[in-house]
Chain A
């Protein structure tokens, strides 16, 4: 068993990049305890009573926003939500001015999703509140990677040595980046699979197995993680057609026959059925996609709790 940290070294969660393996282990163990709360008749504990958490979502999100809100409410925090529409942002306010305005209301934590990579980092420099990155541009989505790891751990009992195939739009995916950082830190073997136009540079240097053959990536895999084609981030011609993409990279029961017999299939959502994943797979016995959603709440509770309590030595705030 790996070593476990006694607390988080920082007051912000900006990316998996900043976490050590013992810190990741601590978050996952804490999430395991948090999950039980969701099974109680009263699904709420008083831990963050009197704390204010602002949810700043500059990009569309359903499951991440609801998952954070539910996690905050289960810990008894007071939550405020802000989405771009109907706020001063639509009147042209800059991110920094929005942040300064919020800061004046002294929240304890700010959960932010933003279309620009690095937006949470910018916020962390000027705010006293703890910042939690809920997805920034094409950079990172740390809580998604943590909930994916938690789900793998729950089903496989370990992360070290797991063969994980990640398939799809790697170029635009912050989920992919955070997952690669986490899985390699925890000793899993990552295979990256995408059409050559959607492979970011430098993956082989990170020790990943990169291929454009779905059969090769899935062969013997313990986990197959499908990523959504992010059509909204594609400015240009990356693919000949959706139909061709599905033929070459869509996950079907036939392809899955090459994987380990107890393979699990994951997807961070939202799914494009018939584009990257066949409905028979998404709804099939391999799928743990709904477990991922349920585990998201527990993992986010763990992150909020650890950030709220830890006066980490490395914290310079």
Chain B
């Protein structure tokens, strides 16, 4: 099945997104990056490194596990129950601009859950959404502010994002 993004293109996309973030927010003051587990976390770390290159400031990063906020715990499981990982937001999100980072934006339900999770930590000034891949098929009125690449897919397909930190290599593949 086709690889729709390789390591080089992924790196370029992240650099571009970092520039867009700095440009749109006129700097990085009060910015914080929060990655959604699992693959949003390394992406947030990489964006923080890119932003540091551009603006010379290291913005704080955190990790959010949205498992406990999902809306499908009651439904018959299609696969094994997701393993709960630790949420780690070691700073106050009050009055900050939070950049929520995920690998694939699909139905929007994960992001809905992430909003609920985030609001339990405080009241951010605003939340912006970063997605490496937007594959369409939204079920909720949610859109990304920064997108690495839009990839048209059918619902039967699946999009696999692989990252060096977790999977040993950087690539995005469409399967099915």
Contacts and interface: CB of A to CB of B under 8 A. Distances in A.
A46 B70 CA distance: 9
Contacts, number: 55
B87 A41 contact: no
A60 interface: no
A297 to B, nearest CB: 15
A1 B156 CA distance: 36
The contact size tier of chain A is: 20 to 34
A270 to B, nearest CB: 31
B83 A6 contact: yes
Interface string B14-38: 0000000000000000000000000
Contact of A311 (B65, B76, B84): B76
Nearest to B72: A309
B83 A26 contact: yes
Nearest to A75: B68
Interface in B52-86: 65, 68-69, 73, 76-77, 80-81, 83-86
Contact of B84 (A33, A40, A44): A33
B68 A305 contact: yes
A29 B83 CA distance: 8
The contact size tier of chain B is: 10 to 19
Given A33-B85, A36-B86, A46-B68, A308 B121 contact: no
Q: Is the interface of B mostly helix, strand, loop or mixed?
A: loop
Interface in A95-129: none
A315 to B, nearest CB: 12
A66 interface: no
Nearest to B86: A33
A285 interface: no
Contacts of B139: none
Interface in A35-49: 36-37, 40-42, 44-47
Interface of B: 65, 68-69, 73, 76-77, 80-81, 83-88, 116-117, 120-122
15 contacts: A6-B83, A29-B83, A33-B84, A36-B87, A36-B88, A40-B120, A42-B120, A42-B121, A45-B120, A46-B68, A46-B69, A305-B68, A305-B84, A309-B73, A310-B81
Interface of A: 4, 6-7, 26, 29-30, 32-34, 36-37, 40-42, 44-47, 75, 302, 305-306, 308-311
